[in-house]
Amino acid sequence: MLLSRIRQFLWLTAVLALGFGLLPAAAFAQSPSPLLPASTSADSISSLYWRIFLTALVIYVLVQGLILFSAFRFRRRSEALPPQIFGHTRLEIAWTLAPFMVLLVILFLTVQVLGVTRYTAEAGADELQVEVIGHQWFWEYRYPKQGAISDEIVTAADLVVPVDQRVHLRIWSDDVIHSFWIPQLAGKTDANPVNFIREGQVGPGVKQLNTWFQATKTGVYEGQCAEYCGEQHAIMRMRVKVVDKAGWDEWVKRNAAPAQPTATGFAIERGKQVFLDERNLCVSCHTIKGTTAAGKVGPNLSNVGGRQEIGAGALTNSPENLRTWIRNAPGVKSGIKMPAFPQLTDADLDALVAYLSSLK
Ligand code: HEC
Ligand SMILES: [Cu+2]
């Protein structure tokens, strides 16, 4: 009997410790945790989380306390049969109604936040529009001409946006369903394959989705495709770089113009020639703004040197890694559409790396 009581006690302690352990775990959250919000809508999501969590904590402590209390207060003290109770209507109604009310409050709070995070067009709103396109396995961004953007900008992997600016994302996919998720800025939004609609292959209901956020802090926010999309789903990462007004203006100016190497030299000139040489195939899949390269299969490389990672998170961006990637990309990330290039000479490869690294 003593043993079973000790066991009971240990169970209760374990359950309580687990419950309270969640608090410090949340307090020590690290980027990209949604508990470190950096936009207005992420703010309302995390505040909803905290409100529900703290309510649940109060209920949890109350219930566990009552269990602990009754376990000790009414423990068996003699062999006499205790009073036998068969139902208590008022109590039963109370403990059905109480959780119902709690859930009703949570539903109300949640619907309120859904209203905030959902994209709704606002007449005359000063918003930056970006098209976000999922590909197996990288994200592409298209900024149409608008405001200070005088010419369409296309980039990949790193989405650059100004701080304190309403950003409207129009999300779709070029192949299968992906999901765009930057936990510190906005909730998940599916990328549906709208191309197939154009080809008449999929019925109605599959459509481009909209979301929005307004970043409140500059910084770099990591994300990850959140819908299983094939072999390399795990290596389909992206990030949002939130920059200040001056940084934004500079970025727009640089990216609306033809891609310019940030350095000069023989290797860079030669790299450009190697890249643009049709026999090397790069141009059939990649675009570099202002050159004859206009391929649409792979990511736009107009500013590839400025990215933190290549291959959507497969490798950090460095000359050595770029070299490894171009020589044998499928060896780094299997299943992708980019082939290996064993036929490129070492000198051509070095030149390509010099050229691409200089595009920022
Ligand atoms: C058949 C199409 C195809 C060809 C040809 C091709 N690539 Fe790619 N490339 C891709 C795809 C697709 C990706 C993205 C793969 C991924 O991350 O899943 C990619 C990614 C890259 C990246 C990384 C970019 C980033 O932002 O992550 C570089 C750099 C690159 N290619 C350079 C080259 C060079 C140089 C050549 C020519 C020697 C070349 N590619 C030829 C399809 C191609
Ligand atoms: Cu994906």
- Cα of 143 vs centre of ligand 1, distance in Å, is 21
- Cα of 229 vs centre of ligand 2, distance in Å, is 5
- Cα of 300 vs centre of ligand 1, distance in Å, is 9
Question: Are 159 and 181 contacting, i.e. CB atoms less than 8 angstroms apart?
Answer: no
Distance (Å) of CA 199 to CA 174, 177, 195: 12, 16, 7
On the question of a common fold for 2-74+91-117 and 127-256, the answer reads no
Question: In the predicted model, what is the mean pLDDT of residues 263-277?
Answer: 92
Tell which CATH classification among 3.10.310.10, 2.60.40.420, 3.40.30.10, 1.10.645.10 matches the domain 127-256: 2.60.40.420
Q: In angstroms, rounded to a whole number, what is the distance separating the alpha carbons of residues 186 and 213? A: 6
Would you say domain 2-74+91-117 falls under CATH 1.10.287?
A: yes
Q: In angstroms, rounded to a whole number, what is the distance separating the alpha carbons of residues 18 and 29? A: 17
Q: Output the six-digit token pair for 163.
A: 């701080």
28/62: higher pLDDT:
62
Task: Provide the residue ranges of all domains of the chain, joining segments of one domain with +.
Answer: 2-74+91-117, 127-256, 266-357
In this prediction the pTM is: 0.86
Coarse DSSP helix, strand, coil percentages of the chain, rounded to the nearest 5 percent: 45, 20, 35
Ligand 1: which of 176, 277, 285, 297 to mutate, most ligand atoms within 8 Å of CB? 285
115/1: higher pLDDT:
115
Question: Any idea which of 103-112, 231-240, 256-265, 311-320 has the lowest mean pLDDT?
Answer: 256-265
Q: In angstroms, rounded to a whole number, what is the distance separating the alpha carbons of residues 217 and 82? A: 63
* Side chain identity, residue 256: A
Looking at the domain 266-357, which fold is it?
Immunoglobulin-like (2.60.40)
Which of 358, 244, 241 shows the shortest CA–CA distance to 304? 358
Alpha-carbon dihedral of residues 344, 349, 352, 354, nearest 10 degrees?
-170
The string of pLDDT tens digits covering residues 337-358 is 999 999 999 999 999 999 999 9
Question: Are 139 and 156 contacting, i.e. CB atoms less than 8 angstroms apart?
Answer: yes
Residue 205: pLDDT band with limits 50, 70, 90? very low
Ligand 1 site, CB within 6 A: 137-138, 156-157, 232, 275, 280-282, 284-286, 297-299, 301, 304, 307, 310-312, 322, 325-326, 333, 336-339, 341, 352, 356
180/260: higher pLDDT:
180
Taking the CA of 313 as reference, the closest ligand is 1
Q: Does 36 score more than 50 pLDDT?
A: yes
